[in-house]
Structures are given as structure tokens and as C-alpha cells.
Amino acid sequence: INMDLLHSNGVLIIQHLQRDYRAYQDFLNFMSHVGDPRNIFSIYFPLWFQLNQVVGTKMIWVAVIGDWFNLIFKWILFGHRPYWWVQETMIYPNQSSPCLEQFPITCETGPGSPSGHAMGSSCVWYVMVTAALSYTVRWKHKSAVTLHRLTWSFLWSIFWIIQISVCISRVFIATHFPHQVVLGVFAGILVAEAFEHTPAIQTASLRMYIKTNLFLFIFALGFYLSLKLLDIDLLWSVPKAKKWCANPDWINIDTTPFAGLVRNLGALFGLGLGINSEMFITSCKGKNSCRISFRILCVAASLATLQLYNFVKIPTHTEYLFYILSFCKSAAMPLTVVALVPYCVHSLMRTTAKKLN
């Protein structure tokens, strides 16, 4: 009954947002995209990795482990999503269930609690803000202390504005209840804070990356199968999504629980492969790596190359093929940023330098 009360109050908030903030629809849809965990690999990571490899590496670990915890929590909490809950609940008398509007990005197929967008967004922005502030902590002058305080206030304000906007956008499109996004934000901060105290990830060998990947995969699969034996289907939310989504075309295999898992494991594997490759050691540990021009070229080339990956559409008709190709595509992204692009830029600069000499 308490959950029904929480959900019905959540529905009132969604209705209020959809009715009174209709004018901000484009902005709120945009904020949902800002919070999309997939942006971490295609935008935030390439930018930060070339500026600071320690932060870039931490970002992928935090994103992957955070999203993995998100999946496990979703499976444990069995959270409903508003757009199907209003259709199925019995608390509204004689067929008077409230009308919630749906959007092309509403129909997520996984369970709703905690919000993956809110969790992914808060853990990555937490890493970025703490990384930026670690630079200002080193300022020792009297005036610098004031500047550090101002920077601190400014960056954390930006952090909370972004998190609140992402949360409101997820509630506005009726894909989450308010309590689910709040839970997501705080869970994300906890994961990011835990990684502030794990320096071991910076020196992890390829073997360590593979072991971590296997552990995450086997644990998630084992958890899924053992509950299936108890007759608990952890993919219970997928048929609900298909049944109550206003437009069947809005259902995306990309949002199923296992799709996210495969994508994350691919990214972590690609990072491990890249960081432990000869290409990375030659280019990013070489004398060019200190040059600003080298880093800027790497950022530009990485971002441009990763945009091309968006045009690679993975066939979705066979589920297993989709998962295998999704893993490969996700692994290719960090590998491109960490090893391929810097190596090509490094080789170009070396050739140019030889010609000039």
C-alpha cells in the first residue's frame, strides 16, 4: 500500500510537469540525452582521457561499475515505470486511470528503480567536478584560496543543476517516478566516491581487466539464472513495456537489461586492451604526449571518429548476434580513443617533423 501511495503521488507530479512545463519539452528531452549513459563513452571520455589519462580511466571504470550496480539494483527492487504502472494498478476506481503522455524516449524496457540515466549522469559528473577541483586545490596563494572557493561553489552548482534537470526530464517523459531518480543520483555519487579511493585501477593489467569483465558477466548471468530457477523472471518488465508503449516503434532492444551489460563489458575490455597496447605506450607515453597540439589533435580526431560509429547500425533481428556485435562496437570506442587515434596522430607528427628537418 505504501508503494501505491508513493507511485500515485509520483503520477500527480508527472501530470503536473506534463501540464505546466509543456513549453520546456525540447529542453527536457535534450537533458534526457545529456544524462544518457552512452554519452560517457562517445563524448566525456574522449575529452577527458586526452587531458588527463587518470581521470579518463577512472571515468570508464565508474561508468561501467555504476551501470552494473544499477542493473543488479533494478533486478532486486522490481521497480515499475509510470507509463505501464498507471495502466495496470487497481487503485484507481472504475477505469479512471490518469492519462500520462508518452514520448519516443519513454518506452524503456528494463525495471525502473533506480534510474540509470540519473545514476550514470551523477557518477560521471561527480568524477569530472572532483577532477577539476583537484587542480585548484594546489593553488597556495591567499587570493587563490578565494578563487578555489568560488570555483568549488560554481562547479558544484553546475553539478546539481545538471542532475536536477536530468531527473526532471526523466520524470517528465513518464519513464521514471520521482523517488527512482533521487535514488539514482545518490547511488551514482556513492559509486564515484568509492572510486576516489581505488588507485589500483590506474595500473591494472589486461589480465585484471579480463578478470573483472568475467566476474561482472558471470555474477549478473548467475544472478539471473538462479532466480529463473526459482521461477522469478528478471525480464518481467520487457512484455509490460511492449504491451503499454503507445508506439511499438519506440521499443528499443538497446534498453533491455542485457544490452546495457554487454555494452559496458565491451567498453571496459576495450579500455584494458588500449591501455596495455604498444600503440598507447608509443604515442601517449612518448615525448609528443606533453605537447598541447598533440592532445588537441587527439581530442578532435577521437570525437570525429566516434561520431562515425553512430552510423554503424547493429542488426537487431537476432538477439545473440546483436549482443556480440554490440560488445565489439563498444570495445572499439575506447580502443580508438586510447590507442588508434593517438598512434596515428603521433606517426603523423613524427613524419612531419622529419620532413621539416
Q: Decide if 117 is catalytic.
A: yes
Q: Decide if 176 is catalytic.
A: yes
Q: CA 324, 120, 23: angle at the middle one, nearest 5?
A: 110
Using CA atoms, how far apart are residues 40 and 296, in angstroms rounded to an integer? 19
Q: Which residues does 221 contact at the CB level (< 8 Å), separation at least 6?
A: none
DSSP state letter for 197: T
Closest CA to 252 of 185, 322, 309, 310: 322
Choosing from 7, 117, 179, 346, which is the catalytic residue?
Answer: 117
Choosing from 7, 80, 176, 179, which is the catalytic residue?
Answer: 176
Q: Which residues does 116 contact at the CB level (< 8 Å), separation at least 6?
A: 37, 67, 70, 74, 110, 184, 260
Residue 287, SS3 per DSSP = helix
Has 170 been labeled as part of a binding site? yes
Has 38 been labeled as part of a binding site? no
Place of cell 549513459: 37
Contacts of residues 162-165 at CB distance under 8 Å and 24 or more positions apart, as own/partner, are: 162/31, 162/34, 162/121, 162/125, 163/118, 163/121, 163/122, 163/125, 165/27, 165/28, 165/31, 165/34
Which residues does the annotation place in the binding site? 81, 170
Which residues does the annotation place in the binding site for substrate? 81, 170
Which residues are tagged catalytic? 117, 176
